[in-house]
């Protein structure tokens, strides 16, 4: 659905802006990782996982679980080796 894609793009833009303004904002990194995972951009989702491992290990585990929730997304710990 084009409307859903537009909403995800808007969310991605907002989260990108949030992490640019405050790189320590773990919630924004988590949400950005989820958007990337939903779009199938697992390399970018894994990058956010790598940032979260330093900022908030608990949130990193949540994101890892989200990325790995189905067979279409590789596990974040494996994908993060590209980080």
- The three-state DSSP-derived secondary structure of 42-53 is HHHHHHHHHHHH
Query: Which is more confidently placed, 65 or 74?
Result: 65
Q: How confident is the model at residue 80 (pLDDT cuts 50, 70, 90)?
A: very low
Output the pLDDT for position 46: 95
* Separation between Cα atoms, residue 48 and residue 17, nearest integer Å: 14
Of 18, 62, 1, nearest in space to 32 by CA: 18
């Amino acid at each position: 659905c084009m409307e859903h894609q537009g909403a995800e793009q808007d969310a991605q833009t907002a989260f990108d802006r949030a992490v640019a303004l405050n790189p320590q904002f773990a919630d924004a990194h988590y949400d950005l990782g989820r958007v990337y995972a939903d779009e199938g951009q697992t390399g970018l989702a894994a990058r956010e996982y790598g940032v979260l491992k330093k900022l908030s290990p608990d949130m990193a585990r949540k994101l890892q679980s989200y990325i790995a929730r189905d067979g279409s997304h590789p596990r974040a710990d494996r994908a993060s080796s590209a980080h």
